[in-house]
Amino acid sequence: MSNKVSFFNLSIYKILSKEQSFLDQARIRLLYYGFFLIFVALGALYLNVYFQNQKMLADTALFLMGAVVVLFKYLTWRPDWRSAAHALLIVGTLVNTSLVYASMQTVNIITVQVIIIVIVFSYYMLGQQWGLMYSLLNTVPVLVFMIIEYNSGYIISIKPNKVDQSTIIISLFANFILLIFIHSHFYTAFLKNIRHLKNSSREQARLYSKMETAIEKAEKSAQAKSEFLSTMSHEIRTPLNAVIGMSNLLMMSNPRPDQRENIEILKFSANNLLAIVNDVLDFSKIESGKVVFENIRFNLVELMNNICGGQILKAEEKGLLFKLDVDSSLKDKVLFGDPTRITQIIFNLVSNAIKFTPQGNIWVRVTCVEDRHNTVTVNFSVRDTGIGIEKENLETIFEPFTQESLATTREYGGTGLGLAIVKRLLELQELQMTVNSTIGRGSEFSFHMEFPVSTEVLPVAVATAPEAKQISENPLACLRVLIAEDNMVNVMLMKKLMSKWSINPTIAENGERAVEFMQYGNFDIILMDLQMPVMNGFDAAKEIRKMADPKKSSIPIIALTASALFDIKEQVYEAGMNDYVSKPFKPDELLEKLNNYTLNKVG
């Protein structure tokens, strides 16, 4: 409704607006035209009773005409139809009661009609609650009057007015016109409202259909994106596996110093490319909502040492002083959480700190903020003396594919996904990152994380690693390994790597051949590629698990794949495989898994 309507406005079009519902517009129209009809009817009644010298009825009619004029003016100046309806009903109720108890001192057909009009009008205009209230205010006094008159007669000092047949005819005619107008008006409004609802329903159905189509397209697009990333990951990781794998083999062959330098450059470049691919895949996985947080036991001190171990070497290569400080109170605690995601967060923060710090120091602090026996709140902080960040850029650095400036991207490189991944991982756990930074003096990234504490007590470490290594070397020498791999470069790489561990593997060029080898030969472990012609690794693993010989059906199977599908790990376990190694893999990682399954077998 407009608040700028002039006091002298008499037009209905200035008090109607598109924001009003069909029913509200109908109520305003009913009042607007209804006031006119009531005024005409009251004018006719006034003239009739005035010439009959019925003073009280004439005064009542005149009072009602004045009230109608005032309410009409109020409606056209301040289009508050609710207040106007209440005022009209209150006036009508008072007049109706005064007619029964004072003016006419009787209940006739005119009184009944007025009550019916009040009931209909109040329900249509103000709804059930107010309709019931005004109905009772008009019917109860009339019923009380009729009971009093029936029992003892109603006698007061005021002489009642008598109405003749002409007054009754005018009143009945006016009341019928008002009843017909009210019902007709609201019937039309209800029909319009129903049509509008039908049209809205059709429009909503059409929009819902379009939304379903859009959702279906988005799901297909997301599936296509996932499959594309998987394919591209496989296509990129496969040659990277060969490059990094061969680099590792060359480094294991005691190269000359000049050769070692070239190999390190080759390995460094390949690892950088792999890091970029991993960042894109990790971010895509987070954005798709496919991240599931684990809740497993781990020791935070050991985890931080493992995360920062390789980073310390990177920092030292740049001439930076790297300091890791973990609260001693956390040393003997076993926590529940997701060490993989913590690794991802801290690794990205530390990598950024090293990248953007030309000289100076890197501090990584892990502090126990609050220890409540069964839970601990830990603050993680990564601080550097690097280039710093402008205040206005503190928010944008967490946006995907964004760095502080184009000059920063050109000078330092990177995808701009590291901090975006960190922020998303924290947000998924309802955690917030705090950033303090000064240009030219460095930055500090910190956040709090709460962990449940296990009642398990960590065993005292015993220096038995050399002995374990000696034990683990013997079983590998005679280990019978079946490798299912279709890529010849990867086959050559695996053969060379296995020869370093005194293993002579058997090669199956696809899943079907791997199943055949298992049927007619004996092996201790299978390294299974997943994407192969004829029969893939999943189907091959399922066939092997169905074999009648329990030794063959229970053979350890480790999946080797360059796929980036988000649910690849679940698929691997569903197919009956025991473990999973992603290409390009680190020789130490594969060796550790071979040792684990070999030691278990020997034990």
Contacts of 1 (CB under 8 A, 6+ apart): 15, 17, 19, 20, 79, 80
Q: What is the pLDDT of residues 513-561, one digit of tens each?
A: 999 999 988 899 999 998 888 999 999 999 999 999 888 999 999 998 7
Residue 5 near residue 15 (C-beta atoms within 8 A): yes
Predicted local distance difference test score (pLDDT) of residue 70: 93
Q: What is the pLDDT of residues 467-524, one digit of tens each?
A: 434 444 445 778 889 999 988 888 888 888 888 888 889 999 999 999 999 998 889 9
Q: What is the pLDDT of residues 307-365, one digit of tens each?
A: 888 788 888 888 899 999 999 888 888 899 988 889 889 988 998 889 889 899 999 99
pLDDT > 90 fraction of the chain, expressed in percent and rounded: 23
Torsion of CA 47, 50, 55, 57, to 10 degrees: -30
Predicted local distance difference test score (pLDDT) of residue 50: 87
Predicted local distance difference test score (pLDDT) of residue 465: 41
pLDDT band, residue 287 (cuts 50/70/90): low
Q: Please give the average per-residue pLDDT across 395-410, as a whole number.
A: 55
Q: What is the pLDDT of residues 143-170, one digit of tens each?
A: 999 999 888 888 888 888 887 888 888 8
pLDDT band, residue 461 (cuts 50/70/90): very low
Distance CA 151, CA 182 (A): 37
Q: What is the pLDDT of residues 216-272, one digit of tens each?
A: 888 887 677 666 766 666 677 777 777 887 888 888 778 888 788 788 777 767 776
Distance CA 416, CA 429 (A): 22
Residue 509 near residue 486 (C-beta atoms within 8 A): yes
**Domains (range + CATH), the chain:** 22-163 (no CATH), 295-452 (3.30.565.10), 465-602 (3.40.50.2300)
Reduced to 3 states (helix: H, G, I; strand: E, B; else coil), residue 503 is coil
Q: Please give the average per-residue pLDDT across 366-373, as a whole number.
A: 89
Cβ count within 10 A of residue 177: 14
Distance CA 280, CA 542 (A): 32
Cβ count within 10 A of residue 388: 17
Distance CA 558, CA 597 (A): 10
Q: What is the pLDDT of residues 582-601, one digit of tens each?
A: 877 778 888 888 888 876 55
pLDDT mean across residues, the chain? 83
Predicted local distance difference test score (pLDDT) of residue 456: 64
Higher-pLDDT residue of 301 and 392 is 301
Predicted local distance difference test score (pLDDT) of residue 438: 87
CA dist 51 to 42, 48, 55, Å?
Answer: 14, 6, 9
Distance CA 465, CA 44 (A): 114
pLDDT band, residue 25 (cuts 50/70/90): confident
For β-strands 481-484 and 506-508, DSSP reports them as parallel
